[in-house]
Amino acid sequence: MAFELPALPYAANALEPHIDTRTMEIHHGKHHAGYTNNLNAAIAGTDLEGKSIEDILKGMDMNNGALRNNGGGYYNHCLFWEVMSPNGGGAPSGALASAINDAYGSFDAFKEAFAKAAATRFGSGWAWLCVHAGGKVEVCSSANQDNPMMPGIGCGGTPVLGLDVWEHAYYLNYQNRRPDYISAFWNVVNWDEVSRRFEANK
C-alpha cells in the first residue's frame, strides 16, 4: 500500500488571513505531494512497504537521505494540516492544559518557549510540542524534515503540535517576517486535535 496525500481538512482559503490561499495550495498540492511521491519511491521494493509511517520514522536509518527527508516531510505535513482549523485559536483545556502548566508555568510562558523555538530554528525546520510517555510535555525543534520520533532528534517525544518554519510555509505572505507568521499561527491552532494527540500518546 502506497502512502497517499491526504485531502486538506478545510478549504485552501479557510485559514485566511493568517495563512494565505496560494501558500496553502502550493504547500499542500506541490510540496506535500512531492514528499508523498518521493516517500513511496524510497520504500518501493523494500521491507518498509506496508509499515506505518510512525514505525518508519522510529526505525529511521538516518543515513538514508531520501527516506529521512521524504518520510519526515510526509508525516510532518499530515500533522500540520490537522493541528490547524479555521475554528482554531484560544487555549487548550483539560489534561493538556494541566501538562502545559506543569511544564512551563502558564500557557503564555509555553507560547513564548514555542515561539522562541520556531524563531531561532536557523534555516528550514519545525517547532514542536511533544508528549513523553507518562504525560510530560516538552517544546523542541528540528532541522529540515526531521521529526522527534526519529532516532536522536529533538526531545525524543511524540509530536502533538507542529509549526512548519520553512520559508515555503510563509514567504508569499510574510516574506522575511517569520515572527509575524509565528504570531498568526496561534489564531488557527486546533487545540481539540492537539488534545486528542496528547491523550493518544501520553
Question: What are the residues binding Mn ion (CB under 5 A)?
Answer: 164, 166, 169
Residue 51 and residue 46: Cα distance in Å, rounded?
A: 10
> Between residues 77 and 197, which has the closer beta carbon with respect to Mn ion?
77
CB 74 within 8 A of CB 35: yes
> Between residues 141 and 195, which has the closer beta carbon with respect to Mn ion?
141
Residue 84 and residue 136: Cα distance in Å, rounded?
A: 22
Asked if omega into 86 is within 30° of 0 (cis), the reply is: no
Shortest spacing between CB 97 and Mn ion, in angstroms: 28
Shortest spacing between CB 31 and Mn ion, in angstroms: 5
Give, in order, the Cα–Cα distances in Å from 52 to each of 1, 49, 129: 10, 9, 22
Task: At 92, list the grid cell.
Answer: 487548550
Query: What 3-state class would DSSP assign to 121?
Result: coil
Shortest spacing between CB 162 and Mn ion, in angstroms: 10
> Between residues 17 and 29, which has the closer beta carbon with respect to Mn ion?
29
Shortest spacing between CB 107 and Mn ion, in angstroms: 26
Q: Which residues face 143 on adjacent strands?
A: 125
> Between residues 149 and 163, which has the closer beta carbon with respect to Mn ion?
163
Residue 156 and residue 71: Cα distance in Å, rounded?
A: 17
> Between residues 43 and 169, which has the closer beta carbon with respect to Mn ion?
169
Shortest spacing between CB 90 and Mn ion, in angstroms: 24
